[in-house]
Amino acid sequence: MLNILTITGPIYLAIGLGFAATRRGMFSKLDGQVLGRFVLNFALPAMLFNALAQRNFAEVMNPNYLLAYGAGSLLSFAIGLGVWRVWRKKSLAESGMVAMGVSCSNSGYVGYPILLQFLGPAAGLGLALTVLIENLLTIPLALAIAESGDAKHLSWQRTIFESLKRMTKIPMMQAIVVGLVFSVLGWHLPEVLSKTVNLFAASTAAIALFVNGGSLVGMRMVGLIQEVRWIALGKLVVHPLAVGLMLMLVGPIEPSLKISAVLLAGMPMLGIYPLLAQRHGQEGFCAAALLVTTIVSFFTISLMLWGMAVMPGGHVYVDVMHIQVSEVEITAIRAQGAGGQNVNKVSSAIHLRFDVKASSLPEDVKARLLALSDHRITQDGVLVIKAQEHRSQDMNRMEAFARLHDLVQSVAKPPKKRKPTKPTYASQQRRLESKKKASAIKSNRGRVV
């Protein structure tokens, strides 16, 4: 569980730092809005472009993921809408905003930083696919229902059309489209532009969390706790359960994408939730729901991460053995084999060398690692990993580090000691009977007289 807290702890400390800095006046709410626009218009689009452009199109466009996450989100959407409209007899506008709250996650500001620590380089793909579902399905549908509850506003058909039209102007959606084009055609950016995009993408997590914390300043939940607790329950429990159920019903999906789907569904609602509700006079109610859900999500997300880590086949991209970066030697080399216009021209492949004997790993872990019959470990105790699957040097570097972590984690826990036992009487009798049968069969193989 301590390893899980090393993932969620920094995330919520960064949110708390943003809250404290804004509360003490070091940053104003206006400053936070400027940083938020930077993340939405530059940092997140750069990260989404990298996640798509640096992968093959067959790997990127995963219909099973889109179907499972979309169906799970719609199921959660329908439950929230039905409970609020039918059971609690609330207005259609308020019911539509509740449905949005229980089905639309804060994927970019909170979800991606957590996925990045938990899954490593595989985090970007799940985020890109989730953003498609939220921006093309659940958010327009929720806005259409909320608008239809007010007679002076547009019809729900016109609202959906206008929402989709606005989506085409959002930089994140544009980055997804451009990234898909690069993935399909096998294009790549020049090295100068590629490094520039990487700089913006690397700034996403920290600034997004800081802005998310600052946005919570000034929110009130006095007198609303009884109402918003049901929204928090729907978002943090019902939504991930609905997505998990759909993942079981849909065909095979890559394990990292399954983890991405459930974790992103378990995030608090999107940060602009109160702003979207302002048009319908629900901003105070939705702000309280956002505040409560964000606080409670620390415990629910930590619990989900712990459950995934202890499950058979669970994968956690964390530095369990605290490998020092200075102990790893990285060399860029030219990729081999068939490829596009860059093959055998650009040093995009990565050679990683890790001296096990000279490392700071515990002695028992070193012994188990060196005892592995792995061809990547030389006679001198040096682990050599070559990564060239991706077209980007940065992606290959992360892939090499992921393999190193996987190998070290495989020997992190000492094997269970085998206790000597005596064969039971029944097993001895079964052994003798089998020997008698084998003897009879062999004796009958003699020459027939």
Per residue in 145-192, pLDDT tens? 877 665 455 565 676 677 667 667 778 778 888 888 888 887 888 888
Same domain, 280 and 329: no
Residue 360 covered by a domain: yes
Q: What are phi and psi of 205, to 5 degrees?
A: -60, -55
Same domain (yes/no): 48, 162: yes
Question: Domain for residue 425, yes or no?
Answer: no
Residue 253: what pLDDT?
A: 82
Judge whether 415 lies within some domain: no
Global confidence as pTM: 0.62
Q: Is residue 37 part of a domain?
A: yes
- Tell the residue number behind the tokens 């509850």, with chain if given: 149
223 and 358 share a domain?
Answer: no
**How much is the pLDDT for 444?**
83
Of the three residues 310, 339, 374, the one that is the final residue of a domain is 310
Considering the domain architecture, whether residues 120 and 152 belong to the same structural domain is answered as: yes
Alpha-carbon gap, residue 53 to 10, rounded angstroms = 29
* Closest among 394, 399, 392, 407 to 361, alpha carbons compared: 407
Task: Specify the pLDDT at position 313.
Answer: 45
440: in domain? no
Whether 429 is in a domain gets the answer: no
Residues 6+ apart with CB under 8 A from 239: 72, 73, 76, 102, 103, 105, 265, 266
CA distance 69 to 72: 5
Q: Which helix (H) or strand (E) element contains residue 342?
A: none
The pLDDT value given to residue 318 = 40
Question: Is residue 333 helix, strand or coil?
Answer: strand
Same domain, 176 and 267: yes
Q: How far apart are CA 325 and CA 361, in angstroms?
A: 13
Please indicate, yes or no, whether residues 122 and 213 belong to a single structural domain of this protein. yes
Same domain, 143 and 206: yes
Give yes or no: residues 251 and 383 share one domain.
no
pLDDT value of position 316 = 42
Q: Is 252 inside a domain boundary?
A: yes
> What CA–CA distance (Å, rounded) separates 125 from 106?
16
Q: Is residue 428 part of a domain?
A: no
CB of 108 closer than 8 Å to CB of 156: no
Give the model's pLDDT for residue 188.
82
280 and 219 in a common domain: yes
Residue type at 199 in one-letter notation: L
**138 in the same domain as 43:** yes
Write the CATH number for 83: 1.20.1530.20
Considering the domain architecture, whether residues 131 and 199 belong to the same structural domain is answered as yes
Which residues, other chains included, contact 249 with Cβ-Cβ below 8 Å and sequence gap of 6+? Answer: 68
pLDDT (0 to 100) of residue 6? 67
User: What contacts 178, CB < 8 A, 6 or more positions away?
Assistant: 49, 53
The CA angle 371-373-374, to the nearest 5 degrees, is: 110
Let me know whether 272 and 133 are in one domain.
yes
**Enclosing domain of residue 306:** 2-310
Q: Which residues of the chain register pLDDT less than 50?
A: 151, 312-321
Output the CA–CA distances (angstroms, integers) from residue 313 to 66, 307, 355, 446, in the order listed: 23, 11, 28, 53
pLDDT at 203: 80
Q: How many domains does the chain have?
A: 2
